[in-house]
Amino acid sequence: MSILQKRYDGFLQTPTLWKGNTVFNLQQFEITPLFSKINRPINNTLRLGKYVERLVDFQLLQDDTISIIAQNIQIQDAKVTVGELDCLIQKDQQPIHLEIVYKFYLYQPNMGVDEITRFIGPNRKDTLVKKLHKLKTKQLPLLHNNSCTPYLKQHKLKAQSISQQVYFKAQLFIPYSLPYLQLKTLNSDCIIGTYITPEELDFFKDYKFYIPHKKDWLVQPHTHVNWMNFDHFKFILKSYLLDEFSPLCWIKSKNGRLQKSVFVWW
């Protein structure tokens, strides 16, 4: 199986972060994942967010009820770019402005006031709540910006008739010291592993390790990789942590169990 296929399959297997419009009244896009052979190349130099958008393009094309109107629409005002619409589609005759998000978040029990405010990025540079606010106050309102009207006219559309939805998928990680977490608002199925602090690293002396490339964070762990023993991994990991970068890793226990974990620098 090609690495592109593994990334696409991993993307399809990632659940959406919530159902309906239960979070910030943002309507989650619903589409049935159809596992099919991806038969179009994707530029491997794209950053992960743009790469995922191309995977979504392919997924949308597999659904007979959906047609893509336009993608990555740069909205300009007097030659100044004011923003971008990820995607305009039509599903069952309903035009939809779709914003696409794929994120990795870690749960910090002592931070924030509820489960939404307790999820942060692996490097502590972004948070779930900031992303939700950006969608709500900047990305989705762009459709109703006057500068957007000419672009919609090209496709014989009016902003008032377009449904706005988000396709927000995420991989969530909980503390290694917290064996179980049941989410109330977000989708607990998104919890796919734990994160491990430097102080907890020695608990894994008997494990094997693999550090995938960033785009391969999408991929479901499998055995056909070059596994590192603990000492080798610890040596390699040190440079990541010194650079204040928290890598997602695959770990394999003595009994062969595979899982994803994030090794944090903080």
Q: Length of the chain in residues, anyone?
A: 266
Contacts of 42 (CB under 8 A, 6+ apart): 4, 51, 54, 55
CA distance 58 to 145: 29
**Looking up tokens 């479901």, which residue turns up?**
220
Query: Terminus-to-terminus CA distance in the chain, angstroms?
Result: 36
Q: Which two tokens stand for residue 6?
A: 């593994």
Q: Is 70 helix (H, G, I), strand (E, B) or coil?
A: strand
Amino acid 183: pLDDT: 96
Q: Is 48 helix (H, G, I), strand (E, B) or coil?
A: helix
Nearest C-alpha neighbor of 161 from the set 100, 97, 74, 99 = 97
**In the chain, where are the structural domains located?**
3-176, 191-263
What pTM was estimated for this model as a whole?
A: 0.96
Amino acid 77: pLDDT: 87
Backbone angles phi, psi at 195, to 5 degrees: -115, 150
- The answer to whether the beta carbons of residues 205 and 212 sit under 8 Å apart is no
Nearest C-alpha neighbor of 131 from the set 23, 219, 56, 51 = 23
Q: What is the DSSP letter of 160?
A: G
Tell how far CA 166 is from the center of its chain. 12
Nearest C-alpha neighbor of 101 from the set 37, 45, 54, 166 = 166
What type of residue sits at position 137? T
Amino acid 73: pLDDT: 95
Amino acid 180: pLDDT: 86
Amino acid 34: pLDDT: 87
CA distance 120 to 123: 8
pLDDT (tens place) for every residue of the chain, 266 residues total = 899 999 999 999 999 999 999 999 999 999 998 899 999 999 999 999 999 999 999 999 999 999 999 999 999 988 889 999 999 999 999 999 999 999 999 999 999 999 999 999 999 999 999 999 999 999 999 999 999 999 999 999 999 999 999 999 999 999 999 878 999 999 999 999 999 999 999 999 999 999 999 999 999 999 999 999 999 999 999 999 999 999 999 999 999 999 999 999 99
Q: Which two tokens stand for residue 247?
A: 């890598």
